[in-house]
Structure 1
Amino acid sequence: MRIDLHTHSNRSDGTDSPAELVRNAAEVARLDVVALTDHDATTGWDEAQAEADRIGIRLVRGIEISTRYQGESVHLLGYEFDPEHPALVAELRRVLDGRDNRLPDVLRKLAEHGVDITLEDVAAQSGDAAASGRPHIADAMVAKGYIAHRDEAFNGWLNTGGRAYVDRYAAPLFATVELVKAAGGRAVVAHPWSRGSDRVLSADTFGRLQEAGLDGIEVDHHDHGAPARDQLRAIAADLDLVVTGSSDYHGTGKSSAFRLGAHLTAPDQLDRLLG
């Protein structure tokens, strides 16, 4: 059984519609199970579920929530929770508003460096997304010929410390684990030792997260080398946490290294996670 528990559609910063993503999962990657985990939003669930039912693939309904711990960005995957849980909905709305509200400041900084991008340019790229974010700004830069690929926008412009970087709100990590659990879901830390989060996610921190309700660690991910995977697998074993693997697929928004099914979750770990 082939299981991929971390993918994105155009409801956040992927390029496939939810239905296209599900079809590609089944027909191209030959997956049996795929999770839709758009950033901070569940708006693609219904479309993805309808397509999954039509073609006969199991959909796991999920999300990737932007959180912060000790000043570092940490992404939290939530699975099969109540999307109408009031406290969680309110927190996600705050995160999404943070994405939208920083846009004018980012565009102003770009303009100071001769990169003329408007809100309308970004909206043309974000389309059906729940909020406009840095990937959509990057896509607007590509569309207007300033850069050749989305990655160029992040390297030097939009990443932390970049010429046009602007911070935004991210939910507190421990409280968000508790919110996902209160909404009846399962919580897994995404790619925990990439993008600086390795500085704050120690074995001790994972232990405290497990006490707060954390269910698992995404171990097998493109951003983790073999030594990191071995260490994370050992931490998960010590804490009796589920080990997941996934592609972090974004369609053409990321390189082919993030193709659907690039990394997989073992069937017994899915059973432990969702029962």
Structure 2
Amino acid sequence: MRIDLHSHSDASDGTRPPAEVVRRARENGVDVLALTDHDTVAGWDAATAALPDGLTLVPGIELSCRYEGRSLHMLGYLFDPGEPELAAELARIRDDRVTRARTMVSRLQELGVDVTWEAVRALARGEAVGRPHIARAMVDAGAVRTPDEAFSSRWIGQGGRAYADRYALEPARAIALVRAAGGVCVLAHPRARRRGYLFADAVVEELAAAGLAGVEVDHPDHAAADRARLRDVAAALRLVPTGSSDDHGALTGDRLGAETTAPDAYAALTGMICDRPEGARKAR
């Protein structure tokens, strides 16, 4: 069984509609797929409506968090999106995404880059506008050759000339909100060094004490040595080790199923969900 627990659609910063994401996942031999768009569940219904035979959909999200001033991402699964406190926080995050993106577009314009808010918004078909949309607009404007080039200190990388901060949850609060909504949380790509996501073992231990259920071990941006270490940390803390493609469609080479979660790990993760509140989601 091939299980991919991290993917994106154009409801956030992926390039494929949810219906196409689930179709491509099945064509790639994936049996279980989590749709985890950034700070939104807007793609769930479309993905469910288009679900091909043989594919189980795990409704999820990738939450924007901040730990000691640095960006940290938290994957949430099988929660009730209508839980009032969580829903309010998601709305606040999405609203601030727009404010932040407008600020970065203005700063790019001041730097002489011919990027408009209208162009960025056209690329962000969903409700969760983000830096990848700005990066793609910069490519279209000829300011950079590739989206990756935009994520540098010269442009919109953290601390860059056009970078702007935004509202994000404390990780422990994100875990508490998802758990209160009946779901579980997994720490996303904690050793994606190239992208600046590098969190020490002590951080994982701290989040485990706050109720973290698992840690993403097998990820395309994780080196072999980091995977081995994370697997040891997960075992020591009794966290579920997961594997995921973190596919963003064309932006990441359409790599659904490139990394997978072991069936026993998936069973352990879903087995943690009990006493589900009314309205919480199930894998479909």
Match of 1:38 in 2: 37
Match of 1:5 in 2: 5
1:99 equivalenced with 2:87 (yes/no): no
Q: Counterparts of 1:259 and 1:30 in 2: how far apart (Å)?
A: 11
CA contact (8 A) 1:40 1:92 kept: yes
Partner AA of 1:251 in structure 2: G
1:153 equivalenced with 2:141 (yes/no): no
Distance 1:141 1:203, change over 3 A: closer
Matches within 5 A, 1:197-212: 197-198=197-198, 201-212=199-210
Aligned mate of 2:64, from 63, 66, 73: 66
1:26 equivalenced with 2:53 (yes/no): no
Q: Counterparts of 1:57 and 1:141 in 2: how far apart (Å)?
A: 36
Q: Counterparts of 1:47 and 1:144 in 2: how far apart (Å)?
A: 31
Aligned mate of 2:131, from 126, 134, 141: 134
Q: Counterparts of 1:93 and 1:268 in 2: how far apart (Å)?
A: 34
Deviation of 1:206 after TM superposition, in Å, equals: 2.2
Match of 1:228 in 2: 226
Deviation of 1:190 after TM superposition, in Å, equals: 0.2
Deviation of 1:242 after TM superposition, in Å, equals: 0.3
Deviation of 1:148 after TM superposition, in Å, equals: 3.0
Q: Counterparts of 2:139 and 2:206 in 1: how far apart (Å)?
A: 42
CA contact (8 A) 2:74 2:186 kept: yes
Deviates more, 1:12-21 or 1:147-156: 147-156
Match of 1:238 in 2: 236
1:274 equivalenced with 2:284 (yes/no): no
Gaps (5+ residues) in structure 1?
none
Deviates more, 1:102-111 or 1:67-76: 102-111
Deviation of 1:111 after TM superposition, in Å, equals: 1.2
Q: Counterparts of 1:249 and 1:145 in 2: how far apart (Å)?
A: 25
Distance 1:177 1:163, change over 3 A: same
Deviation of 1:50 after TM superposition, in Å, equals: 1.5
Q: Counterparts of 2:114 and 2:54 in 1: how far apart (Å)?
A: 46
Partner AA of 1:24 in structure 2: R
What percent of counterpart residues are identical? 53
Match of 1:261 in 2: 257
Does the residue aligned with 1:158 lie in a helix, a strand or coil?
coil
Q: Counterparts of 2:225 and 2:185 in 1: how far apart (Å)?
A: 24
1:49 equivalenced with 2:45 (yes/no): no
CA contact (8 A) 2:38 2:128 kept: no
Deviates more, 1:37-46 or 1:164-173: 164-173
CA displacement, residues 30-72 of structure 1 (integer Å, 9 cap, x when unaligned):
10111100000000001111112x4331001100001011111
Q: Counterparts of 1:125 and 1:139 in 2: how far apart (Å)?
A: 8
Match of 1:17 in 2: 17
Does the residue aligned with 2:6 lie in a helix, a strand or coil?
coil
- Structure number having the greater helix percentage: 1
Does the residue aligned with 2:191 lie in a helix, a strand or coil?
coil
- TM-score, L = length of structure 2: 0.90
Does the residue aligned with 1:157 lie in a helix, a strand or coil?
coil
- TM-score, L = length of structure 1: 0.93
Gaps (5+ residues) in structure 2?
272-284
Deviation of 1:193 after TM superposition, in Å, equals: 1.8
Q: Counterparts of 1:232 and 1:11 in 2: how far apart (Å)?
A: 30
1:143 equivalenced with 2:140 (yes/no): yes
Partner AA of 1:242 in structure 2: V
Deviation of 1:229 after TM superposition, in Å, equals: 0.8
CA contact (8 A) 1:81 1:185 kept: yes
Deviates more, 1:106-115 or 1:63-72: 106-115
